Structure formats: structure tokens, C-alpha cells
Amino acid sequence: MTDKTAQAVAQDWRDRILTDPDVVLDDRDLMRALIAGNERQMGQNIVDLRGIAMQRLETRLDRLEDTHRSVIAAAYENLAGTNQINRCVLRLLDCDTFGEVLDLLGTDLADILRVERVRLILESAQPSEPPHAAVSVVPEGFVEGYVTHGRSVPVRQVTLRQCAPASDQVFGADADWIRSEALLRLDLGQGRMPALLAFGAEDPHQFRPNQGTELLAFFTGVFERLARKHLG
């Protein structure tokens, strides 16, 4: 490249930058290169406080952008979860009998919630054959022992956790491939033993202890009221 050509190219770039300086200001890599060049001209013994401040501002901006993306993702996830629970509640409200409610557990409810299995666990002083394919009948005291793993801790209304494998008393033959579960403790009314609604997922990360439980707690309350109504 001749000197005249180089001068023409340099003048062209100068004119572009003067006309639209945002081309440079909006390009982080270019700004870093210019700042680095300025620091080299000043020498090693001079501290460029403005450059340090800019680096810190860039780091803070990156953190803010990451937080912004995380907040948006959480909002979308929460909205999707709300829609799922609302659809489940509407389907349950359409049921005229408790038998129809049980039929929904392994079909529509599992599909809407995107889980592999939904089971209703009923305690009984004299365990017998379950009245429905979606029901497991277990001995008295099983619900509390299963939720707490036998520890002396309060029984929460909703428990989310990973499991490998799950209990065959809860999920039957499917327990071998269930890797996470949501356990919804049910109060079916005075005179009735505790019950449990269990959601089982093959994905080990679908239900985790650090997830929020507000929506599932609301669903638990709805299911309890419907069960009491149908069971009298």
C-alpha cells in the first residue's frame, strides 16, 4: 500500500468516526484497544484511574446484564408454572366424582405438569388392595416417615427432592427410573389419616429442594378441598 493510499484510508476512517462516533463508543473491544494503547503511551509508572473506573463499570454492567437475564428467565418460568397449575385446577373442577379425579392423576394431570407419574398415597390401619391404579395404600405412619426419611423434623406441606431410586410403595414398578419427586402432604379432614400426592419425574433436576413451592402449595390446598368434598 502506497503512502497516498494509506493516508486516504486513514482519512476515510477519521471522517467516518467524526461523523458517527458511536461506531467506536459502542464497540467494547475497540474501546479496550484504544484504552490499552493510551496506557502504553503514558508508560508503566502512571496509573490511569479513568481506565480502571471504566473496567469496573464494564464488570458491573456485565453482572447487571446477567442478573437481568436471570430475572426474565425466572419470570417466564413462573408464568409457565402458573399456567400449568391453573389448567390442572380447571380440569379437577370439571370432575363430578372422586373416581374421575383419580382417573385424571395418571392422564391429563401428568401430561399438563410434564411428569411421568402422579400417585395418591393413602394411609390405612389395615392396608389392602388399592381401589385405583393411581392409588397406593400404605401402613399408618408411612407418609411422615417417607417425607422426613425418618428424621425428627417438621413435615412440610410440599417437599421437592431428588431420589435414586424412589420408593416402590409410592411409584410401584416405576420407582426404578424415577429420579426426582414432589411430595404434597394432604389433610383429607377430621377422622382421616394423612395422605400424600406424589409427582415423579425421570429428570433428576425437575424437582430440587431450592425451588419455590408456592404454586404447589396452592394446588395442594385445592386438591384437599376437592377430595374432602367428594369423600364427604
Counting Cβ atoms within 10 Å, is residue 128 exposed (0-12), middle (13-18) or buried (19+)? exposed
- In this predicted model, what pLDDT tens digit does every residue of 135-177 receive, in sequence order? 999 999 899 999 988 787 888 899 999 987 788 889 988 888 9
C-alpha cell at 6: 494509506
Burial string for 78-104 (b: 16+ CB within 10 Å, else e) reads eeebeebbeebeebbeeeeebeebbbb
Structural domain containing residue 192: 96-231
What pLDDT does residue 65 have? 75
Average confidence (pLDDT) over 55-69: 73
Question: Coil, strand or helix: which one is 157?
Answer: coil
CA distance linking residue 159 with residue 141, whole number of Å: 17
- In this predicted model, what pLDDT tens digit does every residue of 99-139 receive, in sequence order? 999 999 988 899 999 999 999 999 988 877 888 889 999 99
Looking up cell 479513568 gives 50
The DSSP bridge partners found for residue 120 are 135, 197
What pLDDT does residue 54 have? 66
How many domains does the chain contain in total?
1
The answer to whether position 44 is within a domain reads no
The answer to whether position 51 is within a domain reads no
Of the candidates 207, 206, 204, the one whose C-alpha atom is nearest the C-alpha of residue 179 is 204
- In this predicted model, what pLDDT tens digit does every residue of 44-55 receive, in sequence order? 555 555 666 666
Average confidence (pLDDT) over 9-33: 71
C-alpha cell at 123: 394411609
What pLDDT does residue 149 have? 83
The answer to whether position 182 is within a domain reads yes
What pLDDT does residue 36 have? 65
**Where residue 66 falls among pLDDT bands split at 50, 70, 90?**
confident
Q: Are 83 and 214 in contact (CB under 8 A)?
A: no
The answer to whether position 16 is within a domain reads no
The answer to whether position 84 is within a domain reads no
What pLDDT does residue 179 have? 93
CA distance linking residue 37 with residue 48, whole number of Å: 12
Greater pLDDT, 23 or 171: 171
What CATH number does the domain containing 176 carry? 3.30.450.40
The answer to whether position 100 is within a domain reads yes
